[in-house]
Structures are given as structure tokens and as C-alpha cells.
Amino acid sequence: MRVILQRVRSASVSMSGAIVGAVNHGLLALVGFTHADTPAEVQWIAEKLMQIRVFADDDGKMNRSVVDVSGGILVVSQFTLYGELRKGTRPTYTEAARPDVAEPLYDLLLATLRSATSLHVASGVFGAMMDVALVNDGPVTILLERSTP
């Protein structure tokens, strides 16, 4: 499981010009799944998303989590995180999980975050063509990755 995590001043995802999910101050998580991912990886990522300290404290140090700052989390599925370019210039996506594997894990991630926190957790639409808009804060961008042992 891979997540591109961005600290944002605001972020939204829209389809056909209509916003389907948005957050103000918080995190944007672009999430990709691979074939071997299980609920254990989802749980690990959910905990990291809520606990990662990327927001400034009173001294300007990145020492606060999204929970500490009462931010929001926007989760967007993105199978292209498993794009492979070892050969040629056209990515292959053989390591990306098929929708029948990835969608239940995506739904589990959303459910886990929503049940673990009172923060606003927004999402895109799994498998849909979407427009993602964001104002990156910092910028702060982190790659989180968890693979089955």
C-alpha cells in the first residue's frame, strides 16, 4: 500500500465540475493498493495518517498531528501510484491491485478513519476520473508505504 501524503491549506476532488469531497486545513492522501495488501496494511496507514506529526507547534516545529490541529483528511484512490517504468516510457500497472481487491480496502480505510476520529474525512469516488485541486502547505509531501511481510 502506498500513500502520497500532502499537508494542505485546502484540497478538493470534483467530477464533472461538482465537488464530491473537500477539506480545509489538513491532509490529502492519494492512496494506491497492490495485490497482497490486507486489512493490516490499511490499519497501519490509518494510524499513521492520524498520528504523523507534520503540522507546526508554537515553536514552528513539525510536532502536531492532523488530530492535534483539528484538520481534515481527503482520501483519493490512485492506482497509478503503482505505475512501473523500468522499461520504456509507457507505465504498466501490473503491481496495482484490481478494483475487486482495491475497492474494499479503500472503503475499509475510509471506515477506519471515520470510526477512529471525529475529524472530517472526505473522499473521492473509487475508480472515477476526477479533478484534484489543492493548495500544498509548505510544501510538505511524504511517501508512506507498507507492504505485507
Under 8 Å CB-to-CB from 96, ≥6 apart: which residues?
32, 33, 34, 79, 80, 81, 82, 83, 102
Q: Residues 6, 33, 34, 78: which is the catalytic one? A: 78
Q: Which of 6, 34, 55, 79 is catalytic?
A: 79
Any catalytic annotation for residue 79? Answer: yes
- Given a contact cutoff of 8 angstroms between Cβ atoms, the answer to whether 2 and 143 are in contact is yes
| 148 catalytic per annotation | no
Asked whether 52 and 65 are in contact (CB, 8 A), the reply is: yes
3-state secondary structure (DSSP) of residue 56: strand
Question: Is 78 labeled as catalytic in the residue annotation?
Answer: yes
Contact 142, 16 (CB under 8 A): no
User: Per the residue annotation, which of 80, 92, 94, 148 is the catalytic one?
Assistant: 80
Q: Which residues are catalytic?
A: 78-80
